[in-house]
């Protein structure tokens, strides 16, 4: 699915190979609501990691096993109904990914269903923890918001493993240098953790700032990406 932005304010480009991030629409958001979604929870070195995906990409993800809490992060116009969500064990998705190992590098075609996207996303999480830190950035993501937040989420996808930006630098890279609070809000409202790496944004003084899943986890992620022991990040 292509990212849609204002023709007068083009969004910054994501990193090469990154899947699309978000959509901005002018019609009723409910028209975007998916008919089918897949939820799964993976075991990772940092604890349970869950994701909610459709045929178009990851809607939400993070270090939790709470399906309701994760679904609550999705924009109401994109949030699938309870009866539209299939809960699949991670082992089933791993078998699917083993048979089709290449995750989509762009918008998932209509023929690719939510199971295939969820399997590719789960495989990317496993790959991240195995050392392919760029793997989550190759998975399409679907979020809905206004123009600047869409641009800010696209910008996040261009912040690569090992790179860190301050909130001020993040706002500038997103096209609005004075919108530091709005940039921080984009991080706070990002539903697709890891796939949209808001953990790579820090306060201006270099301290960690906030993170939905806790500062200890944020430090471990940054330490892993920097190739340093987690207790030697700073």
3-state SS, residue 42: strand
Expressed in angstroms, the distance from the first to the final Cα of the chain is 38
CB-based burial label for 233 (10 Å; 0-12, 13-18, 19+): middle
Q: Among candidates 187, 144, 190, which has minimal Cα distance to 169?
A: 187
- The question of whether 187 is a catalytic residue gets the answer no
Q: Which helix (H) or strand (E) holds 201?
A: strand 201-202
DSSP state letter for 66: -
Say how far apart CA 45 and CA 126 lie, in whole Å.
10
Set 32, 42, 120, 198: catalytic member: 198
Q: Which residues are catalytic?
A: 198
């Amino acid at each position: 699915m292509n990212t849609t932005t204002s023709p007068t304010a083009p969004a910054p480009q994501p990193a090469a190979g990154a899947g699309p991030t978000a959509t901005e629409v002018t019609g009723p958001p409910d028209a975007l609501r998916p008919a089918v979604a897949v939820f799964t929870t993976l075991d990772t070195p940092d604890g349970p990691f869950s994701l909610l995906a459709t045929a178009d990409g990851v809607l939400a993800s993070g270090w939790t096993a709470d399906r309701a809490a994760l679904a609550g992060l999705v924009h109401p116009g994109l949030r699938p109904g309870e009866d539209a969500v299939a809960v699949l064990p991670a082992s089933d998705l791993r078998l699917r990914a083993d048979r089709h190992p290449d995750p989509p590098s762009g918008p998932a075609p209509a023929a690719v269903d939510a199971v295939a996207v969820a399997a590719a996303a789960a495989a990317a999480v496993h790959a991240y923890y195995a050392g392919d830190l760029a793997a989550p950035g190759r998975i399409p993501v679907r979020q809905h918001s206004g123009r600047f937040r869409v641009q800010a989420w696209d910008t996040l996808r261009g912040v690569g493993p090992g790179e860190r930006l301050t909130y001020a630098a993040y706002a500038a890279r997103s096209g609005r240098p004075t919108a530091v609070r709005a940039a921080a809000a984009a991080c706070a409202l990002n539903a697709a953790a890891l796939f949209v790496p808001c953990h790579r944004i820090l306060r201006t003084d270099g301290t960690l700032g906030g993170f939905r899943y806790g500062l200890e986890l944020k430090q471990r992620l940054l330490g892993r990406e920097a190739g340093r022991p987690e207790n030697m990040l700073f």
